[in-house]
Amino acid sequence: MAALCDGFTLCGLASGPSSAEARILSIEQGREADHVIVTDARKSITVYKVSDQKPLGSWTVKQGQTITSPAVYNTQTGEYVVVTDNKVIRVWKDEDCFDKAFKATVSADVARVHALPDSEPVVLFARGGVRILDTLLAAPQQSIEELLPEGEVIRWSESFVKGKQKVVVFTTEQKGEHFVYLHRFNPNCLLKYKLEMEDAGSCLLSVSATVRNKNISFLYLCSRGCLYQSEVPVSGGPAEGVQPLPRTLLLKLPVGDGHLSVAAALSLDEANVAVVGVPHPSEGTRKEFLCIWNTHFQTLQASRELLGQPYGQLWCFSGKLYVPHGRVLTAVPYDCQQSSLAAALGRLKQGHGEGSCPPPPVRSWNSLLHEAAAQPQRSTRGIDTRRSKLRKSQAASITVDQVLEDIKTAPGEDVEREVESFLMGAAGPDLQLAVGQVASQLVTRCLSDPSFYTRNSLARLVHTRCLCHSVCPGLLPLVLEKKDYSLVQLCLQHFPDIPEEVTCACLKAFIDVSDGDLEAVDIEPDSMSLMEDISVGWRKDGNLENGFSPVLLEDDGYEARIPPSKSRGRAGLLDLDVSCPVGLKKAVLLNEILQTAHTESFLLPHLKDLSVQQVLLFLRYLWFLYLKFSQDFNVRTSGLRSPTTVQIIDWVCLVLDAHFTVLVMVPEAKDMLSHLNKFVRSQVRLISELGKIQGSLQNIHKLKQSEDVGLYSIEIIELF
């Protein structure tokens, strides 16, 4: 999950010569994590303390001079380095005045100075030469080799340190072709790669690179909206000549009117990419958006509308994105977490659950006719605000980090209390992130500390509906291990993404548990009452529908199901008074299993692990349910959460598929199989009858079709 927080304006932008031209040369990391150096186009350099939104220092070049390479902070010496008029390198300290800065003029044009953490900055020359800054300053007039062919221009550059290896990478363009160069130090070598480009007409808009697992991963955005990734190893044998650089398409971004003109993409972590200047998928062709896309699930994670046109520039330092747009530079804090598909989709699911939707307000006819009259709802809104205020005040007192920290050490009761009060206050889109973190932390603690188990907190977290299995994969196995069946039931109800393996493990546990163990378990009353209804049935407790006693129906119903000749002798087979083979609570738990989402082919191998006795019991229970459901319409229309007939049949089929050969051999299963066979046969007969009816109904439909009569026709009719 990723989220964009509320951004703030760091500084205004001086108006440039033309509105579309970038007003910021670059932003670099300052002395501290919270400092950034903003190099304005051509004239001034300002250091900001971001959290205070306030400038710490500012330097301006004289009239006639221009800044050609943005200022960087040399962490080794605590000095700033900037290049003016292509060849003059100026070095100064915080307290220095700009005029007093150390100046050195070099013999060739400098493209860029790059700062490296814990090492000297490197200087990249326009013709491809690379020097370490201090060696260059020692002999400023040394000759610089020309490595790039004529007409090849550097477009973008970056430098990295991996271990002891310093690397400078830069891209160049020549006649529409793009190349990537990789410069290594000690020994110095230069590798050249050719970027594969799309068909003509598409151009490269933005490049960014990150180091990941000894590889430099390039991310580049084309004007058609395609986001590609290529990887180059940081170290490796020097190769001769130009090598092609393979690419993978990460994401196809929506492009409103066919082409992007100014846009930038920046990789935030393995899965998340920040993009600016690309239209929001549901907002038409307007491009004033900053979005975070998840490349794994190809989903939009977060987006924020920007005021004014962005310039296709985007930087990221210490958890904040910096976007110049319109007349301001905005810093937007963001948060990226490992994402799961369920969480990515989870937002859609919110509010669909039966419990979460508010009860429909009772409306009078008058207000229906006059929809504008919405007065009755106003009062409740008032209460809401008061409540949410309360919530906010509590939330202010406790943060996620605090909770996470406490979970690691605090005793169980304290943790429960804290989680409770945290959930009271939390709301909004951040809740999903926070709940995931808290749940994972709790599970970790429970696993490491066997005596620690905060059932209430976990239940509370599950109840938020923000949790799913993939966010916290350890939860369900843990709960199962603790034999906390009511929480298992809760998880089964609320998690949309339980893997088939875990489902099967639950099933096994449920079948094996003795009814005595379940005595104490607290089961959700709704599903209990359903099972009570089913097992007792309407006939026994005389539960009448509208006061109507279906006595005749009861008798005739049996006869109609089976041919009269067989009904006597075989009554036992189709005796609908089968008693429930498992206890009530167990049945409720099994029902939950039946209702989980699953894919048959994934479930089958795990189902095979069940023992014959388990299979028989389960089949018997399914059989019982099926009988109840097919004979008693009330069960299905009770409105309670219950498995559907289709689900029951699916599970019967699955279990039979998994164990058929074994079952055929087991004498106890013989009766069961022949029952099932009977029922299948009767179902087949029913379906074929329905098919016949459908045929006739279709014919009726055909008869009814009247031909389209024009304004005039001459027809022949016959009267009898």
- Candidates 369, 520, 693, 703; binder of other proteins (CB under 8 A) is 369
**Residue 698 Cβ vs other proteins, minimum distance, rounded to whole Å:** 21
Return all residues near 404 (Cβ < 8 A) that are at least 6 apart.
437, 438, 441
Q: Does 200 sit near other proteins (CB under 8 A)?
A: no
**Residue 358 Cβ vs other proteins, minimum distance, rounded to whole Å:** 21
Distance from the first to the final alpha carbon of the chain: 77
**Residue 711 Cβ vs other proteins, minimum distance, rounded to whole Å:** 4
Binding mask 651-670 for other proteins (x = CB under 8 A): --------------------
Comparing CB distances to other proteins, the nearer of 565 and 706 is: 706
**Residue 379 Cβ vs other proteins, minimum distance, rounded to whole Å:** 18
Per CB under 8 A, the segment of 11-19, 26-34, 407-415, 709-717 that binds other proteins is 709-717
- From the centroid of its chain, how far is CA 265? 19
Comparing CB distances to other proteins, the nearer of 520 and 719 is: 719
DSSP secondary structure, 435-498, as one string:
HHHHHHHHHHHHHH-TT---HHHHHHHHHTT---TTTSTTHHHHHHHTT-HHHHHHHHHH-S--
Q: In angstroms, rounded to a whole number, what is the distance separating the alpha carbons of residues 624 and 576? A: 9
- Candidates 520, 551, 552, 719; binder of other proteins (CB under 8 A) is 719
Return all residues near 212 (Cβ < 8 A) that are at least 6 apart.
231, 270
**Residue 378 Cβ vs other proteins, minimum distance, rounded to whole Å:** 13
Number of residues that bind other proteins (CB under 8 A): 18
**Residue 706 Cβ vs other proteins, minimum distance, rounded to whole Å:** 10
**Residue 710 Cβ vs other proteins, minimum distance, rounded to whole Å:** 7
Comparing CB distances to other proteins, the nearer of 362 and 383 is: 362
Q: Evaluate whether 419 touches 461 at the Cβ level (below 8 Å).
A: yes
Q: Does 703 sit near other proteins (CB under 8 A)?
A: no
Comparing CB distances to other proteins, the nearer of 213 and 713 is: 713
Q: Does 718 sit near other proteins (CB under 8 A)?
A: yes
Comparing CB distances to other proteins, the nearer of 367 and 399 is: 367
Comparing CB distances to other proteins, the nearer of 381 and 570 is: 381
**Residue 707 Cβ vs other proteins, minimum distance, rounded to whole Å:** 9
DSSP secondary structure, 489-546, as one string:
HHHHHH-S---HHHHHHHHHHHHHS-HHHHTT----HHHHHHHHHHHHHHHHHT--BT
DSSP secondary structure, 111-130, as one string:
EEEEEETTEEEEEEETTS-E
Q: Does 715 sit near other proteins (CB under 8 A)?
A: yes
Cis ω on the peptide bond leading into residue 187 (within 30° of 0)?
yes
Q: Does 6 sit near other proteins (CB under 8 A)?
A: no
Per CB under 8 A, the segment of 6-14, 27-35, 501-509, 704-712 that binds other proteins is 704-712
**Residue 708 Cβ vs other proteins, minimum distance, rounded to whole Å:** 11
**Residue 637 Cβ vs other proteins, minimum distance, rounded to whole Å:** 20
Q: In angstroms, rounded to a whole number, what is the distance separating the alpha carbons of residues 405 and 437? A: 11
- Candidates 371, 519, 577, 708; binder of other proteins (CB under 8 A) is 371
Comparing CB distances to other proteins, the nearer of 200 and 711 is: 711
Q: Does 700 sit near other proteins (CB under 8 A)?
A: no
**Residue 351 Cβ vs other proteins, minimum distance, rounded to whole Å:** 22
- Candidates 117, 361, 563, 710; binder of other proteins (CB under 8 A) is 710
Q: Evaluate whether 46 touches 11 at the Cβ level (below 8 Å).
A: yes
Comparing CB distances to other proteins, the nearer of 367 and 682 is: 367
E-only strand ranges, 234-347: 242-245, 248-252, 264-267, 272-276, 289-294, 299-305, 315-317, 320-325, 328-336
Which pair of structure tokens corresponds to residue 664?
């055929």
Q: In angstroms, rounded to a whole number, what is the distance separating the alpha carbons of residues 167 and 690? A: 74
**Residue 368 Cβ vs other proteins, minimum distance, rounded to whole Å:** 8
- Candidates 103, 286, 370, 408; binder of other proteins (CB under 8 A) is 370
Comparing CB distances to other proteins, the nearer of 369 and 551 is: 369
Comparing CB distances to other proteins, the nearer of 97 and 703 is: 703
**Residue 375 Cβ vs other proteins, minimum distance, rounded to whole Å:** 10
Q: What angle do CA 340, 345, 348 make, to 5 degrees?
A: 150
Comparing CB distances to other proteins, the nearer of 348 and 372 is: 372
Q: Does 720 sit near other proteins (CB under 8 A)?
A: yes
Q: Evaluate whether 173 touches 207 at the Cβ level (below 8 Å).
A: no
Comparing CB distances to other proteins, the nearer of 14 and 373 is: 373
Comparing CB distances to other proteins, the nearer of 375 and 385 is: 375
**Using CA of residue 273, residue 279, residue 283, residue 288, what is the dihedral sign?**
positive
Comparing CB distances to other proteins, the nearer of 564 and 710 is: 710
Return all residues near 263 (Cβ < 8 A) that are at least 6 apart.
205, 206, 221, 223, 275, 276, 277, 278, 287, 310, 312
**Binders of other proteins in range 309-368 (CB under 8 A):** 366
Position 17, amino acid: P
Q: In angstroms, rounded to a whole number, what is the distance separating the alpha carbons of residues 284 and 557? A: 60
- Candidates 348, 362, 372, 396; binder of other proteins (CB under 8 A) is 372
DSSP secondary structure, 26-79, as one string:
EEEE-SSTTEEEEEESSSEEEEEETTTTEEEEEEEPPTT--EEEEEEEETTTTE
**Residue 376 Cβ vs other proteins, minimum distance, rounded to whole Å:** 14
**392-401 core/surface letters (b: 16 or more CB in 10 A; e: else):** eeebeebebe
Q: In angstroms, rounded to a whole number, what is the distance separating the alpha carbons of residues 562 and 682? A: 9
Question: What are the residues binding other proteins (CB under 8 A)?
Answer: 366, 369-373, 709-720
